A = this chain, B = another copy of it.
Amino acid sequence: MNGDWTWHGGALAAAQRHFGGDARDWIDLSTGINPDPWPGVASLAIDWQRLPEAGALTALETAAATSFGIDPAYVCAVPGSEIGLRLTGRLIGGAAHHVVPAYRTHGAMIAASTPVGADDMMQHGDTLILANPNNPDGRCLTPDMLAALLDRRDAGSWLLVDEAFADGDPAASVAPLVGDGARLIVFRSFGKFFGLAGVRLGFVIAPRDIVAGLRDLLGAWPVSAAAAAIGTAAYRDTGWIAATRAALPRRAAALDAMLARRGYTATGACPLFRLIETEGAGALFERLAHARILTRPFAERPDWLRLGLPADADALARLEAALG
């Protein structure tokens, strides 16, 4: 198996080169991006000519904060949660553990960070980085469990929670616990739930001195005019958000039922992706790729395969046929 597929999801052009076909033939299930994106992009007028004004950034952060149910004073828009993770890691530094398995960047954002398994999370008091829901296994911790992890921190250490996949279930978010007195930082991603990963927009929710440190690294125009316009309108679209929160679990359940018919058990509580565990995961990845369906294998776990949500009934049927 080529290492490309186990690095990040979304390498569809590389898959086409390797397995053949053209873009329209392929179904990309290698990421956890909502395949039914927020539909308002086409009707937005984006001013590419001017620098985004300060008011546009404030409007974006206020719309996002309102959607997250928090005070905008603790919200810093960033050009993708990936950059938000990396810059925050540099600001904090120090001794850290990152929970594995998880998103690769969690192990890279603080230089001295050491991996720790989920069962041993409570054993260390230094800075802890984890995702909730976790990727790729979809494990969800309750806010009480996260509060216990926050209490466990040594003086000067932080709890960093990557909520990139949290939009589906707002009750699971610990963003409302962020404040100047708490050593808690939460990361949110725009592109996954809203299905618009190309926009590059995320948010760091942190005490105000961390927000100020990030603004100092980013300067006056941290996100594009498009990100400001699209993000502001999408976070204000409470009807679409509510409908999508209701629809995603139904779609995930349909995927689970199909997988069960084919003898696979899907794990995870996040409706944007499913993980299956099977001895033949590598061979299954290859078989699906030859049927022009890209999934996400893992170098360190050759028995895992992650699948994003199929976009529609046709895609689900093609996946079922390819599973054989």
Contact = CB atoms under 8 A, between A and B. Distances in A.
Contact of A197 (B50, B83, B223): B50
A142 to B, nearest CB: 29
A9 B50 CA distance: 10
A85 B221 CA distance: 13
Contact of A198 (B8, B12, B47, B197): B47
Nearest to A10: B51
A52 interface: yes
Interface residues of A, number: 52
Contact of A217 (B46, B90, B221, B222): B90
A48 B83 contact: no
Given A53-B11, A90-B90, A196-B48, A224 B221 contact: no
A14 B83 CA distance: 30
Nearest to A91: B90
Q: Which of A47, A53, A85, A198 has the most CB of B within 10 A?
A: A198
Given A83-B218, A218-B86, A53 B10 contact: yes
Nearest to A55: B13
Contacts of A46: 198
Interface string A1-22: 0000000111111100000000
A299 interface: no
A79 interface: yes
Nearest to A220: B8
A86 B49 contact: no
Contact of A195 (B49, B108, B199, B223): B49
A41 interface: yes
A26 to B, nearest CB: 11
A225 interface: yes
Contacts of A217: 83, 86-87, 90
A274 to B, nearest CB: 19
Contacts of A86: 216-219
A31 interface: yes
A216 B108 contact: yes
A80 interface: yes
Nearest to A230: B48
Contacts of A11: 53-54
Contact of A82 (B41, B199, B221, B225): B221
Contacts of A227: 224
Interface of A: 8-14, 28, 31, 33, 37, 41, 46-55, 79-80, 82-83, 85-87, 90, 105, 108, 191, 195-200, 216-227, 230
